[in-house]
Structure 1
Amino acid sequence: MRSALRLSIVLPALNEATGIAATLQALAPLRAVGHEVIVVDGGSTDGTAALAAPRASRVVESERGRARQMNAGAAVATGEVLLFLHADTRLPAGADAAITAALQRGARWGRFDVHIEGRSRWLPVVARLMNWRSRLTGIATGDQALFIETPLFRELGGYAPLPLMEDIELCTRLRAFGHPACLRERVTTSGRRWDSRGAWRTIWLMWTLRWRYWRGTPAEELARAYR
């Protein structure tokens, strides 16, 4: 088996000064072995970009919006694989080897299982449901750290410039190229939105928004409801 494929880790950020240094420090071992970390700042006003600069391979300024930011990072990426990581999410040890193994088995894209950190005792249940649902449907969310062969992502034209559901929309197109590699290794993501809104209320909101999306409700309207 060849050495790990070179990753370009694209991390969109907006006003993440409180946690961006720790997030990037956790990625330092991957940078040390040649992987690329690209932070895409969407106009932060709290110094996020300045904090990221010494800890990332590159900091890119972009128009605000997660989809636009991820596309901006992907446009300058030089790795063989794009890994899209939220600013409040940590990768498991050996993530690069796990991705390489999955793609060498024939997958062209995939995601990790997720573990949600937070106060609610229901968060482990929420995470298991998320992991089961995406394994069943082939649809993943950004919290699960999507990874995609760089040429495939560019062939598809990247993320649609939607204010919400950009991950769902992309996965729908990616399924034409096969089921995702659903890795059992877990990323750890912040449960801040679950803690602030309540676990079951957030589940209800997310499923309602997804149902409305499949029914054809414009993403702009869904984004207003999400806020």
Structure 2
Amino acid sequence: MSEVPSLSVIVPSLNESSRLPLLLADLQRWPTPLDLWIVDAGSCDGTELVAQLSGAQVLQVANPNRGAQLSHGACHAKGTWLMFLHADSRLPPQWPAVVEAVITQPARDLNAWFFDYKIQGRGTKLRLLELAVALRSYWLQRPYGDQGLLISKRLYQHIGGYKPIPLMEDLDLVQRLSCQVRLLSLGLPLYTDGRRLQRLGLLNQAWQNAQLRRRWHRGEAAKQLSKDYYR
């Protein structure tokens, strides 16, 4: 059997001490030593300690900026493959077998891979949102950050990696990436807690996100979009 390529996982964080442990437990299933990086943006709730207790390596950035966090983590990553995840994500039990099969297959550098977006919670609106995301990901080649990203370091570096921008860093990356290779689904769910979506109002949040993307495509600065998003 051929040796499994090394895998680095990069997770940006900001005050995620209550949700991060669940993801860290999921990541423990990887069968070989995992190069795990938590890139924190100044948490004050013990996130750094939670990460360190799990064996993760912790990096700090001065200000909350997801693009900068992802880029910083990737620069330190030692693996030949990179997997980017959000701190509130949950992986299914079978993820190690599927990821290992992908990164050991021939011509594996010719694609990048994403998870299927799944929302924890009940309701027709949640299922419709999942369907819309699936259509966008498969047909438009636009999987976003909450679907994770599995990519070889060689390909990541070739396309220029994440830009240090505070918003739209995922859209910026997949636009460049889809011009070079095809993005494929791993056929695995990546679960996101639906309570925040429901609290903010699902339709309202979807509309706001669509408007931000429209402004981004029109050339507005990511810094201004971030201010509007987090106000």
Give TM-score, length-normalised by structure 1.
0.91
Structure 1 residue 177 displacement after superposition: 2.0
Identical-residue share of aligned pairs (%): 34
Distance 1:96 1:81 in 2: 13
Q: List per-residue Cα deviations over 1:72-121 (Å, max 9, x = no partner).
A: 11111111111101000012233233234345264431211111114654
Letter in 1 for 2:111: R
**What corresponds to 1:18 in structure 2?**
18
Structure 2, unpaired ranges of 5+: none
Q: 1:1-227, aligned counterparts within 5 Å? A: 2=2, 4-30=4-30, 32-63=31-62, 64-103=64-103, 104=105, 106=107, 107-118=110-121, 120-227=123-230
CA contact (8 A) 2:39 2:61 kept: yes
In the alignment of these two chains, the number of paired residues is 226
Distance 2:96 2:152 in 1: 13
Structure 1 stretch 212-221 or stretch 39-48: which is displaced more? 212-221
CA contact (8 A) 2:71 2:161 kept: yes
CA contact (8 A) 1:120 1:199 kept: no
Structure 1 residue 3 displacement after superposition: 5.1
Structure 1, unpaired ranges of 5+: none
CA contact (8 A) 2:26 2:93 kept: no
Distance 2:147 2:52 in 1: 25
Letter in 2 for 1:94: Q
Structure 1 stretch 41-50 or stretch 182-191: which is displaced more? 182-191
What SS class does the counterpart of residue 29 from structure 2 fall into?
helix
Distance 2:50 2:164 in 1: 27
Distance 1:105 1:226 in 2: 41
Structure 1 residue 43 displacement after superposition: 0.9
CA contact (8 A) 1:9 1:85 kept: yes
What SS class does the counterpart of residue 8 from structure 1 fall into?
strand
Distance 1:192 1:163 in 2: 24
Structure 1 stretch 104-113 or stretch 81-90: which is displaced more? 104-113
CA RMSD of aligned residues (A): 1.9
Letter in 1 for 2:88: D
Distance 2:122 2:87 in 1: 19
Distance 2:120 2:106 in 1: 31
**Distance verdict in 2 for CA 1:3–1:201, change over 3 Å:** farther
Distance 1:65 1:119 in 2: 31
Distance 2:223 2:205 in 1: 19
Distance 1:167 1:128 in 2: 19
Structure 1 stretch 80-89 or stretch 58-67: which is displaced more? 58-67
Give TM-score, length-normalised by structure 2.
0.90
